[in-house]
Amino acid sequence: MKTTVSSKGQIVLPAEFRRQDRIEAGQAFEVERLGRGEYRLKRRSPAPNEGALDWLLGCPEKGFFVPIESGSTDTL
């Protein structure tokens, strides 16, 4: 498929690729230069639990997330 670089240096992934790979706006990618005119684009894997805090804080029911006291496991 063909795509074009914008005046801002942006490259648009064709819609067919975005649909096939479920790529959404805001997802991060790594770009690696393999050689002159050759590049590799790789979707960045999210860190474990990335976004969990935002999800909990965005809960519509206030008081949903309540921290609990943590005891020692030495007695187990």
DSSP 2: -
Q: Could you tell me the CATH number of the domain that includes residue 33?
A: 2.10.260.10
- Is the pLDDT at 31 greater than 90, yes or no? yes
Coil, helix or strand for 5?
strand
**31: in domain:** yes
Three-class SS string for 9-73? Answer: CCECCCHHHHHHCCCCCCCCEEEEEEECCEEEEEECCCCCCCCHHHHHHCCCCCCCCCCCCCCCC
Tell me whether residue 73 is in a domain: no
Tell me the per-residue pLDDT of 38-63, one tens digit each, with 9 for 90 and over.
Answer: 999 998 876 677 777 777 777 777 66
Q: Model-level pTM?
A: 0.52
Residue 71 belongs to a domain:
no
76 falls within a domain: no
56 occurs within a structural domain = yes
The two three-digit tokens of residue 52, written as one number = 């969990």
Alpha-carbon gap, residue 25 to 13, rounded angstroms: 11
**What total of structural domains would you count in the chain?**
1
Looking at residue 52, its pLDDT comes to 79
Q: Where in the sequence is the domain holding 20, given as residue range(s)?
A: 1-65
